[in-house]
Amino acid sequence: MSTFADLRALGCAALLAGLPRMGPARLLWFLERSTPEEAWAHATSGRPGALGPPITLQPNERERSVEEVTAEVVASWAEQARRDPEGVAAAHAAAGVAILLRGDERFPAELAGDLAPPGVLFARGALPLVEARRVAIVGTRRCTGVGAGFARELGAELTAAGVVVVSGLALGIDGAAHRGVLDGGGAPVGVVGSGLDVVYPQRHRALWEAVTEHGTLLSEAPLGARPAAWRFPARNRLIAAMADLVVVVESHEAGGSMLTVDEALLRDVPVTAVPGSVRSPASAGVNRLLSEGCHPIRDADDVLVALGLDAGRRGRTGEQRPDPGPVGHRVLDAFDWQPCTLEHLVVRAGLPVPEVALALQQLVAGRWLEADGPWYERVARC
């Protein structure tokens, strides 16, 4: 039930958030000093101070002067003056996207009080967010089958324990975590770096819809905003800010999840990591975190304990896996916990190809192994 005045304010805020070079800090500067309407008028005035704090040159602008680039940006912002704030607000409402300013009761409290709060939030789905413990599950896009499987299971088990899972809807670990929450019938919370109508990555179109339908989707970017590179570190800080605990499932030495870890540490949010094989590049980052003192996570119980919740020894029935049999054992022994191809196993087990093939199919069916293309990986379960 926004009044006309409110609609205008929301529209101005959305337009501000969509201006080029309007990062979170700059947007905050504007919205802290004045109302959205005043801020919009100032930004599009074309006057020298219209940009707020001084801009910094981007790497591809090194040869130019700050004054030159500033003048350009001022002009490009002034061109936007003719945009219609009420129309933009109406468009967002029509798309089911709520524009949240910091006074709004639906604005997540922990973000409002954050050390680098977002000036505007765009949200779709269930609002306000359910009051519950929140765990951020993050990791690399280039994960292994085992890592993704773990993230999915963790998502489902934490959901069953009443914990809310937050992640970024990226390929790999993020997507698996969300899917796990959906498996468990829960409400996933996704924070993305593009406008809520700009699905990124494309492959997650169905997941995007599912998260919106069953949970909540948040972004600092207005409708139509492209997934620019700089928006992702910004988005990672929101994930860290919303979490009571961060779980890194798999990460290479450097990557987006490491940025999320840094943001979490800045906010005194505990960071935990899932150990992986020291030979797997996808676990290099998490293993480093562990060596630097992060708490290890082996299963959902560890997460619940780290949150201070009663793990309740939920009595994992330890799904009975069928006995592998003599050939199966020989093949499993040839594994040594590295991902292997058929060739490795045939050579190490010293058995003919058809026998190994049959054993592999049976082991995969019995959940002793996971198959990923030509690679087979051992799966451990208590």
Nearest to another protein of 300, 331 (CB atom): 331
- Cβ nearer to another protein, comparing 162 with 374: 374
Q: What tokens appear for 323 in the block?
A: 């006995």
Residue pair 351/329 in contact by the 8 Å Cβ criterion: no
Applying CB under 8 A, among 46, 49, 96, 374 the residue interacting with another protein is 374
Please choose, out of 43-51, 134-142, 225-233, 312-320, the segment that lies near another protein by the rule CB under 8 A.
Answer: 134-142
Among 362, 366, 378, 379, interactor with another protein by CB under 8 A? 362
Q: Under the criterion CB under 8 A, does residue 365 sit at the interface with another protein?
A: yes
Does position 140 interact with another protein (CB under 8 A)? The reply is yes
Among 52, 344, 366, 379, binds another protein (CB under 8 A): 344
Subset of residues 271 to 300 that bind another protein, contact rule: CB under 8 A = 280-283
Nearest distance, CB of residue 31 and another protein, angstroms: 35
Structure tokens at 321: 């896996």
- Using CB under 8 A as the binding rule, whether residue 311 contacts another protein is answered as no
* C-alpha triplet 147, 321, 175: angle, nearest 5°: 25
Q: What are phi and psi of 7, to 5 degrees?
A: -60, -40
Residues 6+ apart with CB under 8 A from 268: none
User: Residues 216-255: x/- map of binding to another protein (CB under 8 A)?
Assistant: ----------------------------------x-x---
Q: Which of 64, 343, 367, 381 is in the footprint of another protein by CB under 8 A?
A: 343
Nearer to another protein, 119 or 172 (CB): 172
Stretch that binds another protein, among 32-40, 154-162, 298-306, 364-372 (CB under 8 A): 364-372
Please tell me whether residue 149 binds another protein under the rule CB under 8 A: yes
Q: Closest approach of Cβ 166 to another protein, in Å?
A: 17
Residue with tokens 């699905």: 199
Residue from the set 12, 111, 135, 143 that interacts with another protein by CB under 8 A: 143
Taking the complex as a whole, the smallest distance from the CB of residue 357 to another protein amounts, in Å, to: 4
Does residue 35 interact with another protein by CB under 8 A?
A: no
Task: Give the x-and-dash track for 162-191 against another protein (CB under 8 A).
Answer: ---------xx--xx-xx------------
Answer yes or no whether residue 37 interacts with another protein by CB under 8 A: no
Q: Among residues 51, 166, 360, 369, which is the contact residue for another protein, using CB under 8 A?
A: 360
Q: In this complex, which beta carbon is closest to another protein, that of residue 113 or of residue 337?
A: 337
Q: Does 206 bind another protein (CB under 8 A)?
A: yes
Min CB(172)–another protein separation in Å: 5
Q: Are the C-beta atoms of 112 and 142 separated by less than 8 Å?
A: no
Q: Which stretches of the chain bind another protein, using CB under 8 A?
A: 140-145, 147-149, 171-172, 175-176, 178-179, 201, 203-204, 206-207, 250, 252, 280-283, 339, 341-344, 346-347, 353-358, 360-362, 365, 371-375, 377
